[in-house]
Amino acid sequence: MDKQGYPRITDIVGLGIFLFRAMLIFLFIGEIMKQSRLPKFIFMSLVVVLGSISLTFAGSHGHKKDTKKGILLVAFGTSVPQAQKSFDHIADMVGKEFGTIPVKWAYTSSIIRKKLAKQGKQLDSVEMALVKMMEQGFTHVAVQSLHTIRGEEYDDLVKTVQAFSHLPDGFEKIIVGEPLLNLEDDMKTVTQAIIDNLPPQRTKNEAVVLMGHGTPHPSNAFYAALMFHLQRKDPLVFVGTVEGSPDITEIKDMMVEKKISKAWLVPFMSVAGDHAMNDMAGDEEDSWKNILGKAGISSTPVMKGTAEYDNMVTIWIAHLKTAMSYL
C-alpha cells in the first residue's frame, strides 16, 4: 500500500502474476489427471504444494534465480529386493559420470510405490519428484528415462515433462533423455552389448531367449527388429515378449523347427524383477520355462537385468549426456 492506502502498481502486478500462475497450475493438474491413473488425493496435494511454490515465486518475481542443475532418473520401478541392485548400479555409474550434480529418482508405477510405502520406503512419482525439485530451487533438469523402448510409459513421461516446462517461474530448462532403444545407432549398440553379455557357459548348439516386456504401442516392433539384428550375429538368439509379439509360443515354435533342446532364459528388462521371477522362471504352468519344457526344451534362467551390465548402462548414460548438453 502507498501512503494514501491504495495498492502500489507492483502489488497489483504481483497479484496478477499469482492469479495467472494459479490458473495455469489448475490447468496443469487437470491435464496430468487425464494422463495418469494416480489417486485424486495425490493431485490435490500437488495443487497445495504448487500453490505454495506459486506464492513464493510471486513474492520473488523479478529476481533471477541462481542456476542449479539436477538429474531425475525415471524407472517403472521394482518391489523385488534382489532386483534393486540394478538401480543401485545405475545410480553408482551416473554418480561417477556426473560428479556433484544431484540425482533424484522417480517410479512411474503407483502399484510398486504403494508396495514400497508399506515397507517404509518412499519413492516419488514423476510429478511429485519434479514438484520437490522446483521447491528445492532446481532451474535446469535432465529427466532420464530408464525404459527400454519408446513406448506408452515413455510417452506419458514426455507429456508430464512438457506440462512442467510451461509453468511460469518454474524450471528454466527441462528435457527428457531417450530410452535404451531409440535410434538405429542404439539398435546396433544394444545388439553388440547383448552379444557380449551372452552366458559364458553356453555351448555351441544352445539357444538364448531374451524376455522383453512388450506393449500394444507401435514401438513393440523394436523387439522383432532387435531379434533380426541379433540373429545376423548369432542365429540362436531369440527375443520374445510377455505382453506383445513375438510371444513365447511363437519363439517356442521357431526353436522346435531348429531342433533346439537347450536354452538360456535372459531378461531384456532393466531389472530381473517380478516378470523374470514368475513369467520367465516361475513354476506356474504358463511360465516360459515350463512352456519350453513341455516342448522338450530344457532351460536355465539367468536372473540379471540389463541395468546390471556396464555396457547397457553406458547407453543410458550416453542419452543422459546428450540431454545434459542442452541444459
Distance CA 152, CA 216 (A): 8
Contact 79, 115 (CB under 8 A): yes
Burial 106-128 (b: 16+ CB within 10 A, else e): bbbbeebbebbeeeeeebbbbbb
Catalytic-residue membership of 229 = no
Distance CA 193, CA 186 (A): 10
What angle in degrees, to the nearest 10, is found between the helix axes of 184-197 and 221-233?
50
DSSP run (H or E) holding 207: strand 207-212
Distance CA 272, CA 259 (A): 28
Residues 6 or more apart in contact with residue 282 via CB below 8 angstroms: 289
Catalytic-labelled residue, pool 89, 213, 275, 319: 213
Sign for the pseudo-dihedral over CA of 291, 296, 300, 304: negative
185 grid coordinates: 545407432
Tell me the catalytic residues: 213
